[in-house]
Amino acid sequence: MTGPDHSGSGTDRPGPAPLRRDQIEAGLQALGLAEGDNVLLHSSLSSLGDVAGGANTVVDAFLSVLGTKGTLVVPTFGDLGVITRVVASRPEAVLSIHPKASVAAIGAEAEHICHDHWKAATAHGADTPYMRLADLGGHVCLLGVDQDRNTTLHSVEALLELPYLETVEATGFSTPEGEVTRSWRHFPGPHRDFIGLDRRLREAGLVRLGQIGNAAVRLMKSSRVIDHLLEVGRADPAFALCDNPLCADCVKQRTAIRKHARRDASSTLVSRDESFTLTSAASLGGSTLDTIVSACEEANLKAIEFDGLNGKDIVELGPSAVEQAVTSLRDRRCEVVALRCNADSFSPDALLSMARACSVHRLVVPICRQVEALASMAAEAHVDVSAYNTTQRGQQVQEQFTEWRTMGLHLGLCLRPAAFARLGEKPFLESYGARLKRFVDQLDVEDGTFDGQPALLARGNAEIKELVSILRCSNFASSLTLSASNRQLTDLPQTMSSFLDLLDSL
């Protein structure tokens, strides 16, 4: 009796024949690579399977297809595989000089592609090998690797000057002109979602797919990829980032984009030559000095109204703590333009002493019985006082301010539209327009509903859009203040963004 036939199976089965040079050449030509082409190769030798002659065979196959008029380029700025090392080690190779983004090239355009790489303003943008290859009509070939290895995508980021790119730390290195120490702008940092761009590029018809041995191969016209993604990136600066909320790198980089957008919007606000001064309640930025400063930086807001720390009003904090906080904020480039008291009972003398100690010339307080004494003393101290409505209706506020004016007290009204809306009044049509226009010297930018709920800007009953619009019509020359009440729904940077959107809608 005989056992089962195991012939042709198990360890005795012969493996596939090693990949030959002519097979690699045929695969490259089938993808469209031809004599005279220039190509930037990102590769993995192991992805091909067994190759007769190893990396040298792969390099020889590329050079054979490209011919004497073509050029093979590989990145050499790290341990990027044995194929790269073979190209760089050949005697005919030209090496670009750059400690962070170097390449090696063999062929007709090698000198041109690599020339003075280190002198370019960026590592991957204009006047670098990556862009010179694109300008020559060159290709990018991904041999057994994905878009994560495609350095040309960094060229797109550099050309767009994306906000999350940084200036790399200065490095010393040798050049034909001697030792040099320098850095480069718009340098890439941590994680990107470059692999997520592959489908977009394929659907745009920019990627030719093939297979050589076991390796999936992608061939792309460099200039077409760059042009396409420049258009995408102008519309969406986060196009190369993932949307995973747990990816700290991309979350950080998206934050940089938002900061830049707000900075641009704020610059636009300045360039519009608006007459008003835009400020924010410090507590909208956060409860600590660090969070306030960080929020102001993100919102690109320079002026704040200091109203307390750690949930404590300035009266609770006391003069020493307030002075210390104001000094610290100014040291960190947050200008404190006013002190705001949220307590309905305060010592006028103590508030004025606090203002003098902080070199602040404006106090904002609630309408209450101490206002008369404060306004009288403040006039002598050259400190402006603005009183804001809390539970008073428009008629009551009008009567109170008329009385103060009759008494010779010159103080302004900080109009809180959400407080009027909470009482069922229409802040623009009823409160401001009919009674209070002549008293207003500050507008709290906030919104709310008739039933007392906070609302996003221009999404409630406080008629904030109408109020901002009418104040601009008269070149309002005082403060519009992003109110602390916004923090019930959002934060300072987002409130700033919403306010700028509101302005854009006018």
pLDDT in tens, 357-373: 999 999 999 999 999 99
* Coil/strand/helix, residue 58: helix
What are the tokens at 435?
């009674």
Residue 198 reports pLDDT greater than 60: yes
- Span of 143-152, 237-246, 262-271 with lowest mean pLDDT: 262-271
**Average pLDDT in the chain:** 92
Closest CA to 497 of 283, 162, 334, 265: 265
Q: Where are the beta strands (DSSP E) in 81-149?
A: 94-95, 103-107, 139-143
pLDDT of residue 272: 57
Where along the chain do the CATH 3.20.20.150 domains lie?
274-504
Structure token digits, residue 351: 């508030």
Whole-prediction pTM value? 0.60
Q: What is the predicted pLDDT for the residue at 262?
A: 62
42 beta partners: 142
How far is it, in rounded angstroms, from Cα 155 to Cα 341?
Answer: 52
> What confidence score (pLDDT) does residue 479 get?
92
Class assignment of domain 274-504?
A: alpha beta
Q: How far apart are the C-alpha atoms of 336 and 326, rounded to whole Å?
A: 7
What is the pairing mode between strands 277-281 and 303-306?
A: parallel
pLDDT of 304 reads 95
Strand ranges in 352-463 using DSSP code E only, listed in sequence order: 362-366, 384-388, 412-415, 440-445
pLDDT bracket for residue 344 (50, 70, 90): confident
In this structure, are residues 298 and 258 in contact, taking their beta carbons and an 8 Å threshold? yes
Residue 293 above 50 pLDDT?
Answer: yes
pLDDT for 269 equals: 53
